[in-house]
Structure 1
Amino acid sequence: MFRYSTNIQCLLIWTILLFLHVIGIDNAPASNATTELLDDLNTEWAKQISRQAKAAEIHVMLNTKEDPCTDFYQYACGNWHRHHPAQFFNHIMTDQFQLIANAFDRRLQLVLREPRSDDEVETKLKNFYYACQLVETDEVRYKVALQRAYQEFGKLPMLDGEDWKSEEFNWWEAVAKIQHKYGKQIILAVDIMADIVNNTGNKVYIGPPNFSISSGTKILSMLQEITTVQHLKRFFGIEEAQATKITKELINFERALVRGGSDSRQGLTLHELLLLKSVDELREIYNESLDMSKFLELALGAEQVPEYVYIYDEKYLNSVVKIIAETPPHVVANYILWQMLQPYIVDVKKDNMAKWCVERTKQYFGKYVDYMVYQRYKDPVVEKEVYDMWNEVREVFRLELRGNKLDWIINSTREYALEKLDAMNLYINSYESENFTIQYEDLQLTRNNYVENVQQILQMESRRKLKRQNGPVVPLEAPEVFTFTPVYNVLENNIRIPVALLQPRYFWGAHYPQALKYATLGYLIAHEMVHGFDDDGRNYDKLGNLRNWWDEKSTYQFEERRKCFQAQYHKYRYDGHQLPNDVSQAENIADNAGVKLAYGAYQRWLNAQQLENVTDIQSKETFSQLHFNNEQLFFIAFAQLWCDDVQSFFRTALAISDSHAPGMYRVIGSLSNFQEFSWVFKCEQDAPMDPEFKCSLY
């Protein structure tokens, strides 16, 4: 425990406000003298400011009235909600990664507002951003473009009434044509990716799309219904009563589709959900209700239909045919065309237009945005430190696999695990090897038509994806959205770190203690590394092929340990409800092993440094303002990585839908299973954070 004097608190608050002001957090211009003084953050004065600001940030989140051995999450994060409250109509959830995202957005917005450069791709990016913002002041042009977009694929029953002919409409033809041209996946998704069994070639996958429907709480469903009604009224002039009726039909139809597959996928692995089927066999099974051969001709191109395809969740496919047969054709048609329009819908408050357009720019130019910001802010020193940390973390896991702690794994399986670990690589997503000029050479974007710009981008992406079938192997990609955490790719057996995560003065600061770096980015890297050996990742070999390389005895022992995590996390209560009793424990396994490996890697680094100068290292590894030793600081930094605040209406939905445990249990679960934590904080043997029986896998 520790206490601050009022004077020190005031000093630190002043320090952090000044520091954040100077580095541009508040977007206010600093004086020339101050700016020049702090342009060089390597001055001794700047180093002290940087460290004091970080110490203040850590301190204000703590609730030292809590006992760290009773509830370490409340101890480390008890005041987060006071400083970063979740808001019903703005941020329904706040966490550290949102702060990082906001900082990245500010950097990107500065770049987008720069005058157009000689770089053609950057100019196209800025044209897109400008056209997006123009929607706010030129809604007439926007609505006309929106109407042209839906008219391309026929009439819309909700608008054309009796002029719409159900006999002229074929649902799977419309779905296939829309996907072929714009890549928009509706009802059935067709993807071309590496064959999970043998990733030396690509295969076609058919399965459910990503649904937009909200699940888990009535409030989410109600908000979605209100929003859809408003869109129908605003963009198409439909009266409220009719808009409400149509909206209910759309939502009920999508809800039926979601139910048709989600329950059948519960607790099953990707391997268990995939079936390799011949197209001829599928055509016979579904007959005229879904001519799979013609569907694929339209979706892929007449000459691109393969002999075999993967079906992801056959029960979903069966339910689609049944649900559509029971649904009025005009409802299906309205749903398909309404979903087709979703990428073009702009509905945002005027004050948030710039931020919304930044988000869309990231969505459609994700790789180039990373590259562009990276070129302006890259730091070779930081990159070297990241790779050094990766090597330390991997070496700790390597030693664990070779040691006696994991003696439940048979030697032959352990040896191959080492081979897979040695084959695993880490990359920073700088995309410096990409030729963006060639990638975007056919893309023509204007500065005055947002809808047409989005259409151009979607067509370009669709053409690119369709070329995959006969092209080089394409790995299973992360979602086409910006991420702010490292990602493990099971088919490539590698980890990729987004540029946004390496922004200075969050997890990373040249003058921060290494304890903070290992507890945050070091842990995130270790977490992703363990995904190669969790209950799903362990089914893939070192080349990313789906293959069982685990012996029977080790598999049994693994399963017994997995069940321990399943029981432990199911007992936790969040918003009054127990967490789901999920068979898959991949994220909990990665959390628990990740913090242990990161701590072990930090100890290795620390021991190597202390051979040189113990006193100097200790002074660098702690904050004079905080009465914590370096090891306690490690666990506090890890816990504060998961500080969050969730609007009360959405907590149940979050717990149900997210494969990760809520932030509080990512802390409590992992650290209560880690004996070193209890020793560092001197917990009594009967303390809640030091249970007698602990779950452990790696």
Structure 2
Amino acid sequence: MQIMSVKMTRYKQADFVDEDTSSIGTIQLNETSGSGIQVRYKTRGNSLWKSLSKLEKILLSTCFTLTFCLLLVIFVPRTKDIDSTFLNVQNRDPCLTEPCIHAASSILNSIDRSIDPCDDFYSFSCNQWIAKNPLPDGKSIWGTFGKLEQQNQIVIKNYLEKPDQYFTSEAEKKAKFYYESCMDEDGIVEKLGAEPMKKFIKNFGGWNITDSDYDISSWTLEEHLKIQNRYNMNGFFTWGVAEDDKNSSRNIISIDQGGLNLPTRDHYLNKTGHEKVLKAYLDYMTKVAVLLGANENEAKRQMQEIIDFETEIAQITAPLDERRNDEKLYNAMTLRELQIKAGFIDWVDHFSDAFSIVNRTITNDEPVVVYAPEFFQNLSTLIIMYKKTSEKRTILANYLVWQAVRSLTSCLSKPFREAYKGLRKALVGSEGSEEPWRYCVSDTHNVLGFAIGAMFVRGVFHGESKPAAELMINQIREAFIKNLKTLDWMDKNTSKLAEEKANAITDMIGFPDYILNKTKLDERYFDLKINKTEYFDNNIRVNIYNLKKNLEKLNEPVNKTTWGMTPPTVNAYYAPTKNQIVFPAGILQLPFYDLNYPRSLNFGGMGVVMGHELTHSLDDQGREYDKFGNLKRWWENKSIDDFNNKTKCFIEQYEKYQINGKKLNGKRTLGENIADNGGLKAAYHAFLNSKSDNEADILPLPGLNMTHKQLFFIAFAQVWCTTLTSEAATLQVEKDNHTPPKYRVIGTLSNFDEFSREFNCKLGTNMNPQKKCEVW
């Protein structure tokens, strides 16, 4: 899932801001559906099965199981090594309940018994799934998350297409109206063509690329950036209001590096490796300019100047793997001090203009946190140089207008949306061609996610999963804390404080209660105006609404119950400044979780997700925050040194893995790898300690001949079964904080002795190497 560990990401057209979180990740990279809705109905059986007598059910289940076993004997190749792996199943009849049969069928349709699980457990667990799930048209990535998304989109579509009179909540009506404006069934967007954007550009004083009579002499950087702010558009950097890392009870202005439009700085600096992407980016920029009335050759020349300027920004941008120490990143100062470091604009004037919409006075003494002071010093030097001549000032103006234009081209007619396909193809290997209603469902979810969430919760999430999930979290927390006490490398005082922090982690499950209160939900969106015939203008209004909501926080105390994800989202996250883990209703679904499934599968799926988020509290970044969510040095020096020595093992391990000839970045993915490994261990031991008398938890599943300990690991692996294009895989290696799916499975399990024991993997095999890495 796109929501990863980030600092001050300013989301446009989004209903929520993930200010500082670490998520489980859903490998959704740059799909046209945006963040998407990744949920489906929970399996609850069908009326035909319920109408059968108990005897009929047993007979049918027995026939079904015998058929499965016969097919396995006839069609499934076996090796001697694999047969010996599964001989330790208790000699008992299988579980023949409907959920057990469904679970067994799902597993059997995914595993590949021709692969030795001790050689490549990902291929063993997922090969059949991958073979049976080719990439759908227009998709660059397809996995369990994507399947949930597509099924859930149908659920949401059915609600959004109900008659107006069905909706009693104004917020939900706004969601419906926004969806209708996106669908554009009357063709209003197509008739308007480029006109909304041309009108919008006039607000910036025009654009040299499209206006032949443009006069740069009247242009000033300061005034242009103020306009950029009012529309919540990115400029040379990112900023917003967020919790103060060192005093998480207050909100503060936070400022960080930014300004790049391609996914990574390497796309600009490694021109040989990304020649295709850079060419596609230039083509896309030129096509958009021509659609807005520019001369093609002149547009191409000036757009190349913009790319060259972005390249200069890339050169002063710190790579992500060098930005993992929050203590070093945190630089508190006043605007007066920032002015001395980076004087390319008047910072007080800049922020005073922005905060005027919420009647907040800004002075030279306003405290801010700057996460990249060196970047701003270099940026100031760069911009001051560009301000010296009219030719260079024109490039600055062109760049800033392009930032605004680029963010809104998807809200225009089809030719503008088509222009992006070439760049998308170069980046992820697919042009994208999903049905319009799917795009519009996702877009509506991005904009009014909690209104959508209210529909989803009422229609799908019935609440019985919540107490069971709370119990599971507590069981995993107990296992995690119990393991803390056994660590011989951590001093007693730090260990005690770590235990206190783990006990202090709060959890939020399902959805925020207010969304089911019509009055409170309407109040949230009261200031947002939506018109069902004004798609482009709706997006402008959404930007301004989100900006105002963010700026209002500077006057308010921190609300530690605010959700950073909407209820339908299939993901989870840990927020270090809140010391909080959050599990939206969307992830409490199959294949992660089902109340009627065996505990082994629930702990292997949802349990590992929970353990992953708990472990983020003590990963290389999370460990820097105390139990109150404050950035503070609370570890003894020796424990810090020992921790860092242990994490080096993970960095070296994961950098040995390659995708398409590119080595994984062990530093950038360190936090997620620590969370994957620690989460698996905590969930497994919690599973072993849990008790149950249910048949599904005791009897083996039909046709599998596996123990429940083995099924735990199968469930974990099959969450990550994925098909993707070569380009998407490469982009993931270059961009994502999460390790690619295959190595999330292999890397984690190969460090875990209990896995090797259950599958009888000899020491020295791929899945049971001599050297193993462990922190928690």
Matching of residue 188 in structure 1 with residue 273 in structure 2 = no
What are the ranges of 5 or more consecutive residues in structure 1 without an aligned counterpart?
Answer: 1-24, 28-33
8 Å CA contact 2:109, 2:128 repeated in 1:
yes
Deviation at 1:382, TM superposition (A): 1.3
Count of residues paired in the alignment = 652
**2:130 is matched with which residue?**
81
Q: CA deviation at 1:48?
A: 4.8
Q: Distance in 1 between matches of 2:580 and 2:684?
A: 22
Is contact 1:187–1:209 with CA below 8 Å preserved after alignment?
yes
Task: Return the offset for 1:335.
Answer: 2.0
Distance 1:264 1:214 in 2: 12
Measured against aligned partners, the alpha-carbon deviations of 1:610-641 in whole angstroms (never above 9, x if no partner) come to xx57x77422xx32022222111111111111
CA contact (8 A) 2:600 2:697 kept: no
Aligned pairs for 1:628-667 within 5 A:
628-667=706-745
Contact 1:193–1:474 (CA<8 Å) still a contact in 2? no
Which one is further off, 223-232 or 509-518? 223-232
Q: 2:510 touches 2:586 (CA, 8 Å); kept in 1? A: no
Residue in structure 2 matched with residue 354 of structure 1 by the alignment: 437
Counterpart of 1:103 (choices 151, 155, 177) is 151
Change (3 A) 1:135 1:283: farther
| Partner Cα distance (2:565, 2:333) in 1 | 25
User: Equivalent of 1:489, from 575, 578, 581?
Assistant: 575
Does the 8 Å contact 2:180/2:532 carry over to 1?
Answer: yes
Task: Give runs of aligned pairs for residues 21-170 of structure 1, distance below 5 A.
Answer: 36-37=47-48, 48-86=97-135, 90-116=138-164, 117-134=167-184, 137-138=187-188, 139-141=190-192, 143-161=194-212, 163-170=213-220
Deviations along 1:21-51, one digit per CA (max 9) or x if unpaired, are xxxx9x9xxxxxx975379999968995554
1:79-133 per-residue CA deviation (whole Å, 9 max, x = no partner) reads 333223347x722122222222222222211111111222211111100000111
Give distance in 2, aligned partners of 1:485 and 1:373: 15
SS across alignment from 2:247: coil
- Give the aligned partner of residue 83 of structure 2: none
- Go from structure 1 to structure 2 and tell me whether the alpha carbon gap of 1:478 and 1:319 turns closer, same or farther (over 3 Å shift): farther
CA contact (8 A) 1:535 1:584 kept: no
TM-score, normalising length: structure 1: 0.87
> If the length of structure 2 is used for normalisation, what is the TM-score?
0.79
Q: Does 1:552 align with 2:637?
A: yes
C-alpha separation in 2, matches of 1:676 and 1:127: 53
Aligned match of 2:346: 291
**584, 599, 606: which is aligned to 1:521?**
606
Q: CA distance change for structure 1 residues 372 and 94 in 2, over 3 Å: closer, same or farther?
A: same
Note the C-alpha offset of 1:559.
Answer: 1.2
Kindly provide the CA deviation profile for residues 309-337 of structure 1, in whole angstroms up to 9, marking residues without a partner as x.
11111122123223334552222212212
Deviates more, 1:532-541 or 1:70-79: 70-79
Matched residues in 1 for 2:240 and 2:658: separation? 38
Match of 1:414 in 2: 495
User: Counterpart of 2:286?
Assistant: 229
Report deviation, 1:378.
1.6
Alignment of 1:297-696 (within 5 A): 297-301=352-356, 303-305=361-363, 306-327=365-386, 328-346=392-410, 347=417, 352-402=435-485, 404=486, 406-434=487-515, 435-473=520-558, 478=564, 483-503=569-589, 505-582=590-667, 585-605=670-690, 608-609=691-692, 612=693, 617-619=697-699, 622-696=700-774
Contact 1:261/1:319 (8 A) holds in 2: no
Give me the whole-angstrom Cα distance separating, in 2, the residues matched to 1:259 and 1:642. Answer: 35
Partner of 1:4: none
Q: Which amino acid aligns with 2:483?
A: E
Residue matched to 1:214? 263
Equivalent-residue separation in structure 2 for 1:100 and 1:522 (angstroms)? 19
Give SS of 1:455's match: helix
Contact 2:334 2:367 in 1 (8 A): yes
Pair 431,617 (structure 1): closer, same or farther in 2 beyond 3 Å = closer
SS of residue in 2 equivalent to 1:204: strand
Deviation of 1:156 (Å): 1.1
Shift of 1:646: 2.4
Structure 1 contact 175–187 (Cα < 8 Å) conserved: no
Counterpart contact for 1:635–1:677, Cα < 8 Å: yes
Secondary structure, counterpart of 1:367 in structure 2 = helix
For the residue of structure 2 that corresponds to 1:74, the secondary structure is helix
User: What is the one-letter code of the residue matched to 2:635?
Assistant: W
RCO comparison, higher one (Cα < 8 Å, 6+): 2
Distance 1:262 1:478, change over 3 A: farther
Change (3 A) 1:685 1:540: same
Cα 1:499–1:227 shift into 2, 3 Å: farther
Give the AA of the match of 1:275.
Answer: N
> How much does 1:478 deviate?
4.8
Q: Give the secondary structure class of the aligned counterpart of 1:309.
A: strand
Q: Measured at CA, do residues 103 and 558 of structure 1 come closer, stay the same or move farther in structure 2, by a change above 3 Å?
A: same
Deviation at 1:341, TM superposition (A): 3.0
Secondary structure at the residue paired with 2:253? Answer: strand
Structure 2 unaligned residues grouped into runs of 5+ = 1-37, 62-95, 268-273, 387-391, 411-416, 419-431
Percent identity over the alignment?
26
8 Å CA contact 1:277–1:308 kept in 2: the answer is: yes
Shift of 1:653: 2.5
**Please, which moves more after superposition, 260-269 or 376-385?**
260-269
Output the aligned Cα RMSD: 2.8
Could you tell me how far 1:153 is from its partner in structure 2? 2.2
Distance in 2, Cα, partners of 1:673 & 1:228 = 46
Q: 1:380 to 1:173 in 2, by over 3 A?
A: same
Change beyond 3 A, Cα 1:284–1:686: closer
> Which AA in structure 2 matches 1:114?
K
Moved more, 557-566 or 430-439: 430-439
Contact kept? 1:134, 1:448, Cα under 8 Å: yes
> What is the CA–CA distance in structure 1 between the aligned matches of 2:52 and 2:731, rounded to whole Å?
43
Deviation of residue 423 (structure 1)? 0.8
Structure 1 residues 426, 644: closer, same or farther in 2, change over 3 A? same
Cα 1:513–1:227 change in 2 (3 A) is farther
1:204 aligns with 2:253: yes
Cα offsets for 1:525-546 (capped at 9, x unmatched)? 1001000011111110001001
- Asked if the contact 1:178/1:340 (under 8 Å) is kept, the reply is yes
Question: How far off is 1:359 after superposition?
Answer: 1.5
Amino acid at match of 2:132: H
Q: Is the 8 A contact 1:275 1:312 kept in 2?
A: yes
* 1:308 shift after superposition: 2.2
Q: Contact 1:219 / 1:649 at 8 angstroms: preserved in 2?
A: no
